[in-house]
Structure 1
Amino acid sequence: MTGTEPEKTARARLSGLDGLRGIAALFVVLHHCRLFAYPGFPVDNGPPWLSPLLYGHLAVVVFIVLSGFSLAAAPAQRDWRLGRVRTFLRRRAWRILPAYWAALLLSFLVARFLVTETPDVVPTGKSLLVFGFLVQDAVSAPSPNSAFWSIAVEAQLYLVFPLLLVLRRHVGAITLMVCVCTGVILIRLLSGQVPVFASLLHATPEFAVLFTLGAVAAGVLAPGARHRVPWPWLALGGGVGIAGLIAVLGSVRTVSNYFWIDLLAAFPTAALLAGLAQGRPRGLVRLLDTAPLRALGSCSYSLYLVHVPIVAVVSRLLIGPHVPAGLPAFLLTTVIVLPVALVFARGFAAVFELPFQRHRSAAALLAAARASLSQRGSGTGAPPANTLPDAMRTSNSEG
């Protein structure tokens, strides 16, 4: 399907976002390889060159800002109008839940019958219910997969996204950001005096700021948006500042202050996305838009969902009994996990993610399945012509 000229321009501006999403997912995989090889987190007991891998949480910051940006990219070009809220929520559920539920079942089975991620923490039937209904940040249950905590938070942000767009349209970007930031910071400051605020901290309320900032940053795609803002330089300066702050604080104090670090890291992340959306810097856009990184980005959600049980099996069953903790364990774990996780994620995405991304309803998915079976029965190998554009499309859009 070929789009109109404005649609082509919008897609060109969004080049590179898949690559960034893929790199963030790969960073989380390496983060967990390090955690399994070096016990004692958040203490930094490894070589300095591995220290950045302690902060896999910051890759989730990138995911949340990027999610807000991607979801708001199309509404920003339509005067911040979303369309039918019911349709939006249905599409979000259709997009994220099939792969999530499949990964939940996989993680549960691995933890019950092979190896647990955390010794003596075995998921139960309650875990399936709590995590299946995405209430793990509100209801306690043994976790089958430590990466799942952020999925619940993001699902809750989807529920407020339509309201954010209404506020962006009527009160403007600055007022919206001030209101969200003020509310979230008050929750943090008053959490010691107000019990309900203390309980809200488990839901990482700062992610509401990250998500909103990402949505606001998508305003660079709106008609008449300014193109002279030095977004790449703002991103670079902010990123260097965050890196310097983390170096000064050290790993223990950084992890214990993730609330504030997350808020600070959101701004250079949003600036980077704004720059990439406008095609700057060109070299980075071209790099992120290379075929390998686009391919990595197309299965980044699946990679994020399934990598933890793979790391657990490799580290606890294959490496741990034979190699002492430390650098040898990390290197061996990484060498095995990366190819296995990438290949498995590609296959997992092909079954549980990409079909639901390409076909927006159960009827469309069943029709595609029947067409595929019909082709096999007739001996033709090529997909129908009208499915080629969807099959070739990457996961740039969150819609």
Structure 2
Amino acid sequence: MKPDSHPADGRVAALDELRGVAILAVIASHAGLVFGPELEAARALTMPALGVGVDLFFVISGLVVSENVPRLRQEAQGFFWRGACAFWGRRILRIGPPAWIVLCLIACVRAAGIPLGAAYADIEAAAGFYANFHWAPCFGGETGCGALLAASHFWSLANEMQFYLAAPFLMALQPRWTALICCAVLVAGALCERRWGGFWWTFRADGLVIGILLSLGATRASWLPRIGAATASFLLLVASILVRIMESLASGLSLTVVAMIFGFVVASAVATKRRPQKANMLQRIGELSFSIYLVHLPIMAGVKETFGGHAIPAIALLISIPSIFLFARLLERWITSPARGFGRRLSAWISGRNPLERQPARIDG
């Protein structure tokens, strides 16, 4: 068992710390987007592209998925379709119910007259996990979408769900073919024009395939240095500045390089053997990161719309931050965590394994 794993669910503490770093960067980026027009301090948060925290999530997700797919196929006695269905059922239940609950709340708020600006087409695209296809032309300048600050962040969940659909097929190939396809995707992404808000900006597989490449052996490299949360935060800041500098010159290459930087960070975190320790605050934030990601943008937009005309923007921002963590904690307790547990039981049933059987620690999430 890895010393920094949770025995109960196989989560790796070092990865949760990285999730904490990533979600705080995303919150800061979107705080600048929501409150920046009225608040100079928030506007400064948009200068570095802190939204690259999403790419760090993608690398972690690619690693986790590529570790889980073969394991579930093995638990299904090697049967591809049973293993794939176990994986799909598990991931849909892990992602779907919390996302759909949040979208229902957004629709209710919209119906109540609070002007979040979310169009029903935005909500439908988010619920169907094709929000990247929906928002890509809107980011490119076309009309037909609602407000940017309500449900546009669901484009990344659409990216992930589409990756989940393809992952069992990709991981069923010989490792050299899997690696070749991943490298081809990276080269194509590096050569593609992907400026912020452009059509191809919402189609980012770089981090996901980097995670797959890590699962093929890079996390076992003995030369990897130990990287803590502070170093990871520094490298994320460097990556966010790099994207801004390269955006007008080689936007596709910049996102590919960012994914490679985060690949190094994730590989180092996984390879690090730490002594057992009590979960720190950053790790706890990382454990809540999915729920936080779902609620943070609509809450900030809703608080701004509700109090923006009657309160100083800085006060509205201060109200929104604890509200995000409160709602995320409630969502995690009542929806996300039960859905995750039910997904595990369903995948165990599909693969033919006793869901009460104790499993060895693994990379999970």
Instruction: Give the Cα–Cα distance (whole angstroms) in 2 for the partners of residues 154 and 210 of structure 1.
Output: 11
For the structure 1 residues 294 and 244, does the alpha-carbon distance in structure 2 shift closer, same or farther, using more than 3 Å as the test?
A: closer
2:335 corresponding residue in structure 1: 352
TM (normalized to structure 2)? 0.74
Instruction: Give the Cα–Cα distance (whole angstroms) in 2 for the partners of residues 4 and 263 of structure 1.
Output: 30
| RMSD of Structure 2 on Structure 1 (CA) | 4.3
Runs of 5+ in structure 2 lacking a partner? Answer: 135-143, 348-354
For the structure 1 residues 90 and 200, does the alpha-carbon distance in structure 2 shift closer, same or farther, using more than 3 Å as the test?
A: farther
The alpha carbon displacement at 1:337 in A equals 1.6
For the structure 1 residues 179 and 168, does the alpha-carbon distance in structure 2 shift closer, same or farther, using more than 3 Å as the test?
A: farther
**Aligned length, in residue pairs:** 334
Instruction: Give the Cα–Cα distance (whole angstroms) in 2 for the partners of residues 113 and 34 of structure 1.
Output: 26
The aligned runs of 1:160-309 (5 Å cut-off) are 160-167=166-173, 169-171=175-177, 173=179, 175-185=180-190, 188=192, 201=200, 203-204=202-203, 207-220=204-217, 225-230=220-225, 232=227, 242=239, 245-246=242-243, 249=245, 254=247, 258-279=251-272, 290-309=279-298
The alpha carbon displacement at 1:31 in A equals 2.2
Q: Which amino acid aligns with 2:90?
A: R
The answer to which of 86-95 and 226-235 deviates more is 226-235
The aligned runs of 1:1-399 (5 Å cut-off) are 14-39=12-37, 46=40, 50-51=44-45, 55-74=49-68, 84-117=83-116, 121-124=117-120, 126-139=121-134, 141-142=145-146, 144-167=150-173, 169-171=175-177, 173=179, 175-185=180-190, 188=192, 201=200, 203-204=202-203, 207-220=204-217, 225-230=220-225, 232=227, 242=239, 245-246=242-243, 249=245, 254=247, 258-279=251-272, 290-323=279-312, 329-330=313-314, 332-360=315-343, 397-398=364-365
The alpha carbon displacement at 1:346 in A equals 0.5
Larger Rg: 1
Question: Equivalent pairs: percent with the same residue?
Answer: 21
Alpha-carbon displacement from aligned partner over 1:360-397 (angstroms, at most 9, x marks no partner): 37889xxxxxxxxxxxxxxxxxxxxx99x99xxx9971
Instruction: Give the Cα–Cα distance (whole angstroms) in 2 for the partners of residues 58 and 154 of structure 1.
Output: 15
Which 4+ stretches in 1 moved above 6 angstroms?
76-82, 233-238, 361-364
Instruction: Give the Cα–Cα distance (whole angstroms) in 2 for the partners of residues 134 and 322 of structure 1.
Output: 36
SS in 1 for 2:131: coil
For the structure 1 residues 22 and 242, does the alpha-carbon distance in structure 2 shift closer, same or farther, using more than 3 Å as the test?
A: closer
Instruction: Give the Cα–Cα distance (whole angstroms) in 2 for the partners of residues 229 and 38 of structure 1.
Output: 39
Instruction: Give the Cα–Cα distance (whole angstroms) in 2 for the partners of residues 240 and 228 of structure 1.
Output: 24
Alpha-carbon displacement from aligned partner over 1:96-128 (angstroms, at most 9, x marks no partner): 0000100111122223424334xxx4413x344
Paired residues of 1:89 and 1:158 also in contact (CA < 8 A):
yes
Instruction: Give the Cα–Cα distance (whole angstroms) in 1 for the partners of residues 70 and 225 of structure 2.
Output: 20
For the structure 1 residues 79 and 104, does the alpha-carbon distance in structure 2 shift closer, same or farther, using more than 3 Å as the test?
A: closer
The alpha carbon displacement at 1:215 in A equals 1.6
Paired residues of 2:66 and 2:212 also in contact (CA < 8 A):
yes
Alpha-carbon displacement from aligned partner over 1:263-317 (angstroms, at most 9, x marks no partner): 111111111111111116x69x97xx73423322222111111122211222222
